[in-house]
Amino acid sequence: MAARIIDGKALSRRLREEFRGRVGKLATQGVVPGLAVILVGDNPASRVYVGNKVKACAECGVASFHHALPAEASEAEVLACIDRLNADPAVNGILVQLPLPPHIDVRKVLEAIAVDKDVDGFHLYNVGGLVVGNTIFPPCTPYGVQLLLETTGTEVAGKNVVVVGASNIVGKPMALMLLQKEATVTVCHAKTRDLAQHTILADILIVAAGKPGLIVPRMVKEGAIVIDVGINRLADGRIVGDVDFAGVKEKASWITPVPGGVGPMTVTMLIENTLRSTERAHHLRKDDDYQDCEAPAVKAHADN
């Protein structure tokens, strides 16, 4: 039986509608949430990502402040820009678009962002929070995946989850978030021997390797939920994930498409974190609300 599609675009639309309501409520108190985005250099892909974030802000009623620095900007200039934004009360979230030019120390830059405005969740404080299960800002891509999983109505506790990819921005935080939800988590990476031996055991398979065609049907358990985080541009211009979608959808119970799966959710969760930061700053929410990376209410497909 062909898998059901987990529709990231539709879920994003629903969440963004909800966000507009939250922005309206903030407006009654004279508060406009603000997100500052720092782009260093002119990487074309980064420009597209920043454009998408600015557009999503406008759609939800969030003010965006775009700081474009030249590729030759010094580390000190980037840090000074972050200092100013840390002190600016109109800015509730600060995002530095990665990658940065090689002469800039990424870790130093990420640690300079005020913990309370770290809406990407990359500051060590928030990474540490993820380890103990109460981060302020869950990183956007794994946070989006968590919500997509919720729409399937599947309880992750006790499930075998295999995460393929162990980067700091996707694979590792994803594994920690699902461990917190009491899944049995295996993390695979480029040095993993016999990848299929692990993936075949997955009730939930999450792939974030950046390798088109990495996951083929024989590596997937019948009825598994498959989440494809990969975004790869082929020579003919097509955008594909890491999973052989046409083949794997015949075996999986649920699957995300690329595009239209995880991608739209990443930007949507950035807005969620910006609203969360604004509500915290104005004492409209307590940190306790976020124990366990609790997500905004997501309606399961199964209930529709």
- Kindly list the residues in this chain that would bind ligand NAD in the complex (CB under 6 A): 141, 164-167, 169-171, 188-190, 192, 195, 208-211, 214, 229-232, 262-263, 266
The least distance separating ligand NAD from the CB of residue 259, rounded to whole angstroms, comes to: 9
Q: CA distances (Å), 135 to each of 85, 272, 287, in order?
A: 22, 14, 9
Q: CA distances (Å), 240 to each of 22, 114, 198, 273, 294, in order?
A: 34, 36, 23, 27, 30
The least distance separating ligand NAD from the CB of residue 152, rounded to whole angstroms, comes to: 18
The least distance separating ligand NAD from the CB of residue 299, rounded to whole angstroms, comes to: 22
Tokens matching residue 197? 């031996």
The least distance separating ligand NAD from the CB of residue 242, rounded to whole angstroms, comes to: 7
> Quick one: 36 or 188, whose CB is closer to ligand NAD?
188
Active-site entry in 97, 146, 221, 249: 97
Active-site entry in 7, 118, 120, 242: 120
**In one letter, which amino acid is 142?**
P
> Quick one: 4 or 211, whose CB is closer to ligand NAD?
211
Q: Which string of b and e fits 40-62 if b means at least 16 CB within 10 Å?
A: bbebeebeebbeebbebbebbbb
> Quick one: 21 or 99, whose CB is closer to ligand NAD?
99
Is 97 an active-site residue? yes
> Quick one: 141 or 180, whose CB is closer to ligand NAD?
141
Angle, helix 8-27 to helix 140-151, in steps of 10 degrees: 110
Is 120 an active-site residue? yes
Active site residues: 53, 97, 120
